[in-house]
Amino acid sequence: MKIIIVGAGEVGTHIASQLIEEQKDVVIIEKDQEIARRANDMLDCLVITGEGTNVDCLVEAGIEKADIFVAATSIDEINMISCLVAASEFKIPVKIARVRNVEYSRTGIFDKSFIGIDYIVNPEIEASYDIAQTVELGASSSIFSFEGTDAQLRDFLVEETSVFAGKFIKDIRGLFADRFIIAGVQRDGDITIPSGDFKISEGDHIYLVALGRSFNKIMVKAGRKAAKLKRIIIAGGGMIGKHVTGMLVDKGRDVRLIEKDYDRCKEIATMYPEVIVINGDISDEDVFEEENLASADAVITTTQNEELNILAGVYAKSRGVKRAVALIDKTNYATLATSLGIDSCVSPKLSSVDAILKFIRRGNIKNVYTIFEGRAEAIEFIVNHHSAIAGRAVMDLKLPSGCLIVAVQRRRKTIIPDGGFVIEGGDSVIAFVTHDSIPKLEDILAL
């Protein structure tokens, strides 16, 4: 499979690095010479310095043989025009554009016959939905839900007092009445798909899969009790802050929004008259005192400064706020933020990567969630009736060592499987996969 990516920013390079490890033929086009040089040093693929809207540059990239074209620069118009040029001059099966401005969707410009885009990814919308869902479920950890199933994947840091600390996985299972699977463990920069003989330690970052209705009981025993979050503070009135405000207002939450730009405050107050809009700076501790913000149930920090988002969340919790959700874009900040007490981190860029990978994966992939800086993924796929894994027990599947089946959706019922569970054609299967095992899993699904 040949994929051309326009833009060597964080989204473009993140997608490229994963696809390169999966032995995909990747070419990057980047107009900035310095950024192109860094990408060339970092990635084992062809990097061309040029414009994604330039036909000669596209030809140099080998677009005539490309299967997928991804326009992932930080500028909407360049992404849209790049897809338009690719569609009008070449026969590319799939064209994907990263477009942040939601106003474009209201103009009819995305009519496929006009601009040739097969799929549009909006990072802000994706991140806003993730934040709203996290708050709805108590913000006790980062939460990944799988559409049409009751399965959830949550991650959290194991603290000294946790029931998990110092115990083998095979012994932990007997402490809980509800079924769950520890899908992965992050420790000292590595991620492991653990066996029953794996011992959990304080400081481990674990990824746990269970049914949504079981999670509250599991998390309470794990020391991560979910809270009913009614009074919400949102710090930052940018695009994501506005989207999240609207979503939470629709869910009946009592929302206060802090924004230091006065004109933006007026705009938000007009959009949402039921919201208390405070013209102030979240980094000013006097704001907490004057507005009595410490009594809130949760703070959601969505400013453009991700360091401020983390620090403001940590400060809010130190003043008594129950939960903190921080917007971040540097993927290596997630572990740091969690260790400092941030309950959930959301990244618009990773949301974009996940959405784009759904279109690039081979097979009947429904959902892809990037985990641990792209070194693992939770993948949801449909089992073909003629698949090599249909009719076989989980314990008998020849899955790669870095792959674990954690949930199965069958006829509207979600199941957390054990080794004797038999996979059937038509099942929707969720697997936790380390990155180096993804090509092997794809080969199995293609059979």
In this structure, the number of other CB atoms found within 10 A of the CB of residue 175 comes to 12
Non-local (6+) Cβ contacts of 110 within 8 A are 104, 117, 120
Q: Where are the beta strands (DSSP E) in 193-307?
A: 205-211, 231-235, 254-259, 276-279, 298-301
| pLDDT for position 366 | 67
pLDDT at 192 (0 to 100): 86
pTM score of the predicted model: 0.67
| pLDDT on residue 227 | 62
Identify the residue whose tokens are 């207002």: 249
Backbone angles phi, psi at 168, to 5 degrees: -75, 150
Nearest to 206 by CA among 179, 219, 187: 187
| The predicted structure's pLDDT at residue 114 | 52
Residues of the chain with pLDDT under 70: 102-115, 137-143, 147-148, 223-227, 331, 361-367, 372-374, 445-447
Exposed / middle / buried, residue 81 (Cβ in 10 Å: 0-12, 13-18, 19+): middle
Residue 190: the pLDDT is: 81
Coil, strand or helix at 79: helix
- pLDDT of the residue at 244: 94
- Count of residues making up the chain: 447
Separation CA 225–CA 398 (nearest Å): 37
Count of beta carbons in the 10 Å neighbourhood of residue 195: 11
pLDDT at 33: 95
The residues, ordered by sequence, that sit 6+ positions from 106 with a Cβ below 8 Å of its Cβ are: none
pLDDT of residue 270: 95
Return d(Cα 395, Cα 421) in angstroms, integer: 8
> Of 347, 371, 360, whose CA–CA distance to 186 is shortest?
371
Pairing mode of beta strands 298-301, 376-382: unpaired
Domains of the chain listed by start with CATH number: 2-121 (3.40.50.720), 135-221 (3.30.70.1450), 231-350 (3.40.50.720), 351-446 (3.30.70.1450)
Instruction: Report yes or no: 309 and 331 within 8 Å, Cβ to Cβ.
Output: no
Q: What is the pLDDT of residues 18-58, one digit of tens each?
A: 788 777 899 999 999 999 999 999 999 999 999 999 999 99
Cα–chain center distance at 113: 30
Tens of pLDDT, residue by residue over 182-235, are 988 888 878 888 888 899 998 888 888 888 778 778 877 776 665 678 999 999
pLDDT the model gives residue 142:
65
